[in-house]
Amino acid sequence: MEQFKHTINENMYDAATRTGLSNKSMCYIIRSCHFNLPILMLFFVLYGPFWLVMLTNIFLVLAVSSYIVFGCCMISELEHKLCKDDDFFVMDPILELLGMKKNQVNRHRATVGFALIYVILYYVCYRWRFGDTVNADFNVGVTQNSASADFNIAVTRPN
């Protein structure tokens, strides 16, 4: 898994450096997106068209899953690769407000805590706006000669 993480990091770094911008400029652009994306995603779930909300849902699942699988935020890793002399993380202002020391353990704890709160808030906003629009049906059938499993997901647009 570590090799896969390294490959993703290298690919993201290569893509960022091919823009023609300096590493520092690219770092600050990515960091500003990193700060604003959670707010923008809440705006999308509250006011965006249904297709954009579905894309936002997929992005959120991928972001949380990658943090769980890799044990870090891949965007923060990219930021620090681009700005090697900068020891700033997106969670640092939160740690300062809470009076906590800025170290990797506290950053991880704050990230997990705020991510949990954010996912719950996002889900509440989604349910408030759309209700139950995803219906999952899982059927398993076993007979003497064969076994089968069917998994169907239907996404219905709210009226």
Instruction: Look at residue 141 and tell me if it is in a domain.
Output: no
Predicted TM-score (pTM) of the model is 0.76
Instruction: Look at residue 152 and tell me if it is in a domain.
Output: no
What is the structure's pLDDT at 45? 96
Instruction: Look at residue 147 and tell me if it is in a domain.
Output: no
The better pLDDT of the pair 149, 15 is held by 15
Instruction: Look at residue 148 and tell me if it is in a domain.
Output: no
Range of the domain at 90: 2-131
The 8 Å CB, 24+ separation contacts for 65-73 are: 67/111, 67/115, 69/1, 70/1, 70/5, 73/111
The total domain count for the chain is 1
Picking from 52, 74, 3, the residue whose alpha carbon sits closest to that of residue 157 is 52
Instruction: Look at residue 95 and tell me if it is in a domain.
Output: yes
Instruction: Look at residue 149 and tell me if it is in a domain.
Output: no
CA-CA-CA-CA dihedral for 131, 132, 134, 135, to nearest 10: -170
Instruction: Look at residue 145 and tell me if it is in a domain.
Output: no
Report the b/e string of 83-108 with b at 16+ CB within 10 A. Answer: beeeeebbbeebbeeeebeeeeebbe
Count other Cβ atoms within 10 Å, centred on residue 148. 9
Q: What is the pLDDT of residues 17-72, one digit of tens each?
A: 999 999 999 999 999 999 999 999 999 999 999 999 999 999 999 999 999 999 99
The 3-state DSSP class for residue 149 equals strand
Q: What is the pLDDT of residues 82-118, one digit of tens each?
A: 998 788 999 999 999 999 999 999 999 999 999 999 9
Instruction: Look at residue 43 and tell me if it is in a domain.
Output: yes
